[in-house]
Chain A
């Protein structure tokens, strides 16, 4: 209906005529929008485990497909999905090739004492269903500035995203050189060893060096840790090449120090998200005089419960059956953001908070610790 003033405007009839002339837009916009979401960013997927490959005694690869066999959402090599299990969730890098849309492989290594990794390796068998998020994360090659000559420092199961990146290069015929320096504890602990060695032998743009910390008598290759001098010996001068780092938490500060020693600029290093800090109290800004093993009361969604000060709030909430949305569990993705209504919460260095979060009392519960009794709006 036209506004009462419309007829007073010069040209109003021409505009009205244009409206009247227009063919009706009959598209189903709601369906089209839902299709974009389902194709690229489904909130949840229920996937069927079709194969389980035992890689090493401690590690298994789970192959996931859609129950109806259709394509999975596209991902960039290096990205992860979050798996929901046993009342909580964990993120795992996709190790398969992005060229293969019909399945994702997740390579899971047992974490000593780890709840979900052991649960998955022990109990998940072909035919089971796993609930996941869509692919997420920024740990992937970005052609706008990463360059076509890159280095990857992997430790242990941290090789999973590197595997996907290598498969991406080969399957898509990318003009990119990739040098993997892969540290493992012992020679029988190396994941994908045969496949990596075969690929490196066949493709000049893929180089793989295994570095073994506790070598047996059989091992003739490099040993020890990924030290600055070893990195330089194996990879040559880094010359601003992008360096990816993924592995156990201890690798991160270590690799950073080694790369700094080589004069490598921090902005040419990419660290994969890696969970909450093993010991948040070791970070220098942990509040003084706060005993980590003492308990406080947390109140959320009408429940009050006791929890240790050094337990991430997200885990404490999940223990009570309160499950905020969550994905990276490393402080990055912000999905588990909660409001602190009362009390003091400590955010670990990993927390990538927004500037306004601090002002208005929001935190990322996956890397936040209750210092006093707290009340949360979840």
Chain B
């Protein structure tokens, strides 16, 4: 079959950024074709059913939603995309509970003063240091956001330049002595995938700021409801979507992207090609001669990022019966985050886990009286890729046991409550996303991946090609939802009238 479809824009992949890009383009009047390998929209932002339960795949806590009336929020973005009235947000009260058994067990409420009080109570004598740290964090986050929005250097408070790029670990060491308080404050590093020694302070600052200032949220119907809502808006505006269809090639003419090839042989011509696929796969779909040398050099110095290992569980007991006091709980073996990070390359028992209980603030996935829990750690895919297929299942279940062992510290007897459990490994992520290494946040988001040094959003290197998603910028929900919209808007501005 070799037919030819002609559209204004084609979007490869219906992950967060692909969806917001497609909706933005179509609503601005560009005839847009959205092509997705999988049979549902969302990429990571999806869910699936097991028995009586539905399981959230990826969203722990949505940052940046904000309260009505706050500026610069995801709510504003959803308004622009016409989906606000199609999404029901569920607010969470706390940031997280951080536990190192035998050492500390602290729950941080999702407001600055409450979080400071909780930290002071757990680690007395740190009040002034906490206030100073939060003040710095707010400042750096604020100016970093302003800088990314294009404010000229002269107008930016130099505190950003002095502190922003420092490793998070250095900034924490400078403020605190107690390893416990440092570990509690740094807990969200796992949402970014890099430990305090490798993470730029500004990146954790923006993350904590986004949750403290704009609160942690979830969505009734999970992230799939959000993905489907954005798709709905795209379809309402006249957009066309093809599921179960992969893009296998990006067509170029005289160095410019002019369309794509689909796995059923069809060719699509389009003035603009937006890719939500990973960068290695995207550039791999281009004729080698179309990719400039500087892009190749840049890609070669970036490192395929971390993936996840997760137990999706349906537990036959209420959150209270199980011992869940809040939605998000981090349990760590100790405060040695660097060692925990190093262990992501090994199959030694999981040292740090994140437990998400989706029924403290219910998103509607578990029948009443039961609890849907995601039990997760990070893992690189290298070891999983080296396993022989015959060893895979055994290794997967054996490693899963180590997460359950760790979870016992906060949910004693968790195994007895299991009604359903399904395990996803880095290979599962690679299967569903088509991303190298099953990476869930794109490239490793260490300091070298900072927007100051990487240019994929502004300079994809191939005219007509645009990149949107975790591989071209920050990973995570809020950043990718925003990136797709921004990339589409920039593309629209550059359009000939």
Residues of A within 8 A of B (CB): 1-6, 8-12, 15-16, 18-20, 22, 24-26, 28-30, 32-33, 36-37, 39-41, 71, 73-74, 76, 99, 101, 138, 142-145, 267, 325, 332, 334-335, 337, 339, 352-357, 359-360, 362, 377
Residue of B nearest to A9 (CB): B165
B494 within 8 A of A: no
Are A16 and B316 in touch, CB under 8 angstroms?
no
Contact between chains at B448 and A335 (CB < 8 Å): no
Known: A144-B418, A337-B40. A10 touches B166 (CB 8 A): yes
Chain A's closest residue to B401 (CB) is A144
Tell me if B304 counts as interface (CB < 8 A to partner A): yes
Partner of A10, one of B156, B165, B300, B303: B165
Contact A30 B280, CB 8 Å, known A74-B393, A354-B49? yes
Known: A19-B301, A32-B436, A33-B436. A353 touches B415 (CB 8 A): no
The residue on B at minimum CB distance from A355 is B221
Evaluate contact between B435 and A10: CB separation under 8 angstroms: no
Instruction: Pick the contact of B430: A20, A33, A71 (CB < 8 A).
Output: A33
Q: Which residue of B lies closest to A353 (CB)?
A: B49
**Contact between A360 and B421, CB atoms less than 8 A apart:** no
Quick check: B421 and A145 within 8 Å, CB to CB?
yes
A6-B453, A144-B415 given as contacts; is B284 within 8 A of A29 (CB)? yes
Known: A144-B421, A145-B418, A337-B40. A10 touches B161 (CB 8 A): yes
B408 at interface by CB-CB < 8 Å: no
Name the B residues within 8 Å of A138 (CB-CB): 50, 422
Whole-angstrom distance between the Cβ of A31 and the nearest chain B Cβ: 9
The one of A33, A39, A337 that contacts B434, using a Cβ cutoff of 8 Å: A33
Chain B residues with CB below 8 A from A32, complex form = 385, 436
Q: How far apart are B22's CB and chain A's nearest CB, in angstroms?
A: 16
Q: Does B8 sit within 8 A of A, measured CB to CB?
A: no
In angstroms, how far is the closest chain A Cβ from the Cβ of B469?
15
Q: What's the Cα separation between A357 and B54 when bound, in Å?
A: 12
- Given A29-B304, A33-B436, A354-B49, are A40 and B165 also a contact pair (CB < 8 Å)? no
Across the A-B interface, the 3 shortest Cβ-Cβ residue pairs? A29-B436, A356-B225, A24-B300
Residues of B within 8 A of A20 (CB): 301
**B358 nearest CB across to chain A (Å):** 12
The closest CB in chain A to the CB of B55 belongs to A354
Task: Please give me the residue from chain A that is nearest to B419 by CB atom.
Answer: A267
B162: chain A residues at CB < 8 Å are 10
Chain B positions 418-448 with a Cβ under 8 Å from a chain A Cβ: 418-419, 421-423, 427, 430-431, 434-438, 447-448
CA distance A254 to B61 in the complex (A): 43
Known: A144-B400, A144-B418, A355-B225. A5 touches B300 (CB 8 A): no
B165 CB contact (under 8 Å) in A12, A39, A357, A377: A12
Residues 198-240 of chain B, each 1 if its beta carbon lies under 8 Å from chain A, else 0? 0000000000000000000000111011001100100100000
Query: Are A26 and B431 closer than 8 Å at their CB atoms?
Result: no
Other than the given A138-B50, A325-B244, 18 more pairs (CB < 8 A) read A5-B153, A8-B153, A9-B165, A22-B300, A24-B301, A25-B301, A29-B304, A30-B280, A30-B281, A33-B430, A37-B430, A40-B389, A40-B427, A41-B431, A144-B311, A145-B415, A325-B243, A356-B221
**Residues on B with beta carbons closer than 8 Å to the beta carbon of A40:** 389, 392, 427, 431
The CA of A37 and the CA of B37, in the complex, are separated in Å by 12
Given A36-B430, A267-B316, A353-B49, decide whether A9 and B228 contact each other with a Cβ distance below 8 A: no
Task: For residue B43, give the distance in angstroms from its CB to the closest CB of chain A.
Answer: 15
- Contacting B221 at CB < 8 Å: which of A9, A24, A359? A359
Contact (A144, B404) CB under 8 Å given A10-B166, A40-B392: yes
A25 touches B302 (CB 8 A): yes
| Interchain CB contact under 8 A, B49 and A332 | yes
Q: Which residue of B lies closest to A267 (CB)?
A: B419
User: In whole Å, how far is B144's beta carbon from the nearest beta carbon of chain A?
Assistant: 10
Q: A24-B300, A25-B302, A138-B50 are in contact. Are A356 and B224 (CB under 8 A)?
A: yes
B48 within 8 A of A: yes
Q: List residues of B whose CB falls within 8 A of some A CB.
A: 39-40, 47-51, 54, 86, 147, 153, 156, 160-166, 220-222, 224-225, 228-229, 232, 235, 243-244, 278, 280-281, 284, 294, 297, 299-304, 311, 316, 364-365, 385, 389-390, 392-393, 397, 400-401, 404, 415, 418-419, 421-423, 427, 430-431, 434-438, 447-448, 450-453, 455, 459
Min distance, Cβ B301 to any Cβ of chain A, angstroms: 5
Chain B residues positioned under 8 Å from A10 (CB to CB) = 161-163, 165-166
CB distance from A3 to the nearest CB of B (A): 5
Q: B389 near A101 (CB under 8 angstroms)?
A: yes
Nearest-neighbor residue (CB-CB) of A3 within chain B: B452
**Do B300 and A74 touch across chains, with their CB atoms under 8 A apart?**
no
Q: Known interface pairs A76-B393, A101-B390, A145-B415. Does A2 touch B431 (Cβ–Cβ under 8 Å)? A: no
Q: Are A16 and B453 in contact (CB under 8 A)?
A: yes
Closest to B226 in A: A356
- Among A1, A4, A5, residue most surrounded by chain B Cβ atoms (within 10 Å): A5
Contacting pair B47 A354 (CB below 8 A): yes
CA distance A8 to B222 in the complex (A): 41
B48 to A3, Cβ gap below 8 A?
Answer: no
Min distance, Cβ A302 to any Cβ of chain B, angstroms = 13
Chain A residues in 8 Å Cβ range of B294: 1
Asked if B229 contacts A142 (CB within 8 A), the reply is no
Contact A9 B452 (CB under 8 A): yes
State the CA gap A362–B243 with chains docked (Å): 14
With a cutoff of 8 Å between Cβ atoms, the chain B residues found around residue A337 in the complex are 39-40
Assembled-state Cα–Cα distance A37/B281 (Å): 14
Q: List 12 A-B contacts (CB under 8 A).
A: A8-B153, A12-B165, A22-B448, A24-B301, A37-B434, A144-B397, A325-B243, A325-B244, A335-B39, A337-B39, A355-B225, A356-B222
Docked-complex contact A15 and B165, CB < 8 angstroms: yes
Quick one: given A4-B153, A144-B401, A145-B415, are A360 and B229 in contact (CB under 8 Å)?
yes
Closest CB in chain A relative to B128 CB, distance in Å: 25
Minimum CB distance partner of A357 in chain B: B228
Contacts of A33 in B (CB 8 A): 281, 430, 434-436
Question: Could you tell me if A25 and B54 are in contact, using CB atoms closer than 8 angstroms?
Answer: no
The minimal Cβ–Cβ distance linking A184 to chain B, given in whole angstroms, is 29
Determine the chain A residues whose CB is within 8 A of the CB of B164 once the complex forms: 9
Q: Which residues of B contact A22 (CB under 8 A)?
A: 300-301, 303, 448
A139 to B180, CA, bound (A): 44
Which A residue sits closest to B381, measured CB to CB?
A36
Determine if A15 and B430 form an interchain contact, defined as CB atoms under 8 angstroms apart.
no
Q: For A3, list chain B residues within 8 Å (CB).
A: 451-453, 455
Distance between B370 CB and nearest chain A CB, rounded to angstroms: 9
Q: Which of chain A's residues has its CB closest to B296's CB?
A: A24
CB nearest neighbor in B for A18: B448
- Chain B residues with Cβ under 8 A from A30's Cβ? 280-281, 284, 436
A101 to B390 alpha-carbon distance, docked (Å): 8
Whether B225 and A359, one on each chain, are in contact in the complex, defined by CB atoms closer than 8 angstroms, is yes
Q: How far is the CB of B12 from chain A (nearest CB, A)?
A: 14
- Residues of B near A332 (CB, < 8 A) are 49
The CA of A26 and the CA of B297, in the complex, are separated in Å by 10
Which of B39, B153, B156, B165 is in CB contact (< 8 Å) with A334? B39
Closest residue on chain B to residue A16 by CB atoms:
B453
Within the complex, the shortest CB–CB distance from B276 to chain A, in Å, comes to 15
Tell me which residues across on chain A come within 8 A of B311, comparing CB atoms. 144
Question: Is B452's CB under 8 angstroms from A360's CB?
Answer: no
**Distance (Å) between the CB of A87 and the closest chain B CB?**
17
